[in-house]
Amino acid sequence: MENPMMLQIPDKGYVYKGCRLYTCKYPDYLKYGCPSIKIKGPNGKLCTPAKDLTKPYPDCCNSGKCA
């Protein structure tokens, strides 16, 4: 079993992904092969996916950059 990959994102937040990441281009954000993903923001709290995809994931996407 493959270990989840940890990707650095802006402001010292991290994305832990256990599934295939299809794209992460602003403002499309993240699209996954499955939902097992945890996004940790700079404040140490887990982020939740944005309901409105015209806005970034809280604390996790800045300056048009995602993991």
Which of 22, 20, 17 lies closest to 5, judged by CA?
17
Q: What is the pTM assigned to this prediction?
A: 0.23
Q: Burial of 61 by CB count in 10 Å (0-12 exposed, 13-18 middle, 19+ buried)?
A: buried
62 vs 67: CA distance, rounded Å: 10
Does residue 45 surpass a pLDDT of 60? Answer: yes
Band the pLDDT of 8: cuts 50, 70, 90. Answer: very low
1 vs 39: CA distance, rounded Å: 21
The pLDDT, as a whole number, for residue 24 is 43
